[in-house]
Amino acid sequence: MSGRVSIPLKVRNIVGESLIWDDRRGLLLWVDIVARTIHCYAPEAEAYRSIRAPDLVTSIGLREDGRYVVGLRKAIAIWDGEETFAPLAEIEPDQPENRLNEGVVGPDGAFWVGTMQNNIAADGSPMDITEATGRLYRVTSDGGAACISDDRFGVTNTMVWTEDGRFITADTSANAIYSYRMDHAGRLTDRRIVLAGFERGLPDGSCSDVTGAIWNCRVVGGGCLLRFTPGGELLGTVDLPTSWPTSCVFGGKDLDTLFVTSARFTMSEAHLAAAPQEGALMALKTGLRGRACHRMA
């Protein structure tokens, strides 16, 4: 599987994450967690700007009213696209050592978000993760937040919904991708391993194409995208010019361009001098189209 990879924006994100496509505005948005920044890029106009967030900003999603839902360090907020971040919900206030990580709006119009033990020091330097303390939550537009699984995760990542109603998610620390069913009470059940132990890097963010196949970014030196079926059949890989790809989404007018963010977190000055493209925004044509991002009700 191949595809020519370009770098449309040479940003140097420390931890670029949570890439989404706003089809109404023709706009890519993503966050840099450590830099506390939201990035906005219009590919057709080649217009770019960035907005400073009030805290660590870990994820972003679309809303029906044109605003955005944003995950901060411990809180979910509604962002107006400019300077206002209105609080919506607080997650795990009784666990100060945890922070939010991946967050994606689901087909149900809720914001699904995961937590993890904080690995970012006050000065932005990395800290070790010593325990699997992460959990999964579902946040509704009225601010209701419910834990939807008792399972614990080292680093919560990847949130994709399959055509048959299952939920795909990953634990980066465990190098494992799982499939769940949601029961009538809104809880995740019937956990199955979809893919584990893949030898290139670790699983980070994912998206799906119109065939239902999942594209997964392989972070921590993986340097590639992995494509597989919801049942775990490997369909191929695409090599990338960055070693820590983090998040991906199909965008563009016809949803036929796969955009990918990356990170340079924990990398040495010598490595970055030799590989200045680390942290950049990438794009490639896969020959497939993607699916529009969901919006919060």
To the nearest 10°, report the CA torsion of 109, 227, 20, 276: 160
The confidence score (pLDDT) of residue 118 equals 96
Q: How far apart are CA 31 and CA 247, in angstroms?
A: 10
Count the alpha carbons within 13 Å of 66 in the hemisphere toward its beta carbon: 3
Q: How far apart are CA 189 and CA 157, in angstroms?
A: 18
Query: Using an 8 Å Cβ cutoff, are 27 and 41 in contact?
Result: yes
The confidence score (pLDDT) of residue 297 equals 87
Phi, psi of 272 (to 5 degrees): -65, -30
The confidence score (pLDDT) of residue 146 equals 96
The confidence score (pLDDT) of residue 162 equals 96
The confidence score (pLDDT) of residue 2 equals 54
What tokens does 6 get? 């370009």
Rounded to the nearest 5 degrees, what angle is found at the Cα of 172, between the Cα atoms of 60 and 143? 35
| Partners of 162 in beta bridges | none
What tokens does 141 get? 């537009």
| Domain limits for position 268 | 5-296
Alpha helices in the chain (DSSP H): 269-274
Supply the DSSP symbol for 271.
H
The confidence score (pLDDT) of residue 186 equals 84
Here the contacts of 187-196 (C-beta below 8 Å, separation 24 or greater) are 187/148, 187/149, 188/136, 188/148, 188/149, 188/151, 191/151, 193/232, 194/168, 194/228, 194/230, 194/231, 194/232, 195/228, 195/232, 195/234
Lateral strand order in the sheet of 47-52 = 16-22, 27-32, 37-42, 47-52
Number of domains, the chain: 1
Q: For the domain that residue 129 is a member of, what is the CATH number?
A: 2.120.10.30
| Intervals of the chain under pLDDT 50 | none
Query: Using an 8 Å Cβ cutoff, are 278 and 28 in contact?
Result: no
The confidence score (pLDDT) of residue 101 equals 97
The confidence score (pLDDT) of residue 257 equals 97
The confidence score (pLDDT) of residue 3 equals 66
SS3 290: strand
Count the alpha carbons within 13 Å of 268 in the hemisphere toward its beta carbon: 3
Query: Using an 8 Å Cβ cutoff, are 18 and 247 in contact?
Result: yes
Q: Is the sign of the CA dihedral 32, 243, 99, 185 positive or negative?
A: positive
**pLDDT tens-digit map of 224-262:** 999 999 999 999 999 999 999 999 999 999 999 999 999
Q: How far apart are CA 11 and CA 280, in angstroms?
A: 5
The confidence score (pLDDT) of residue 1 equals 54
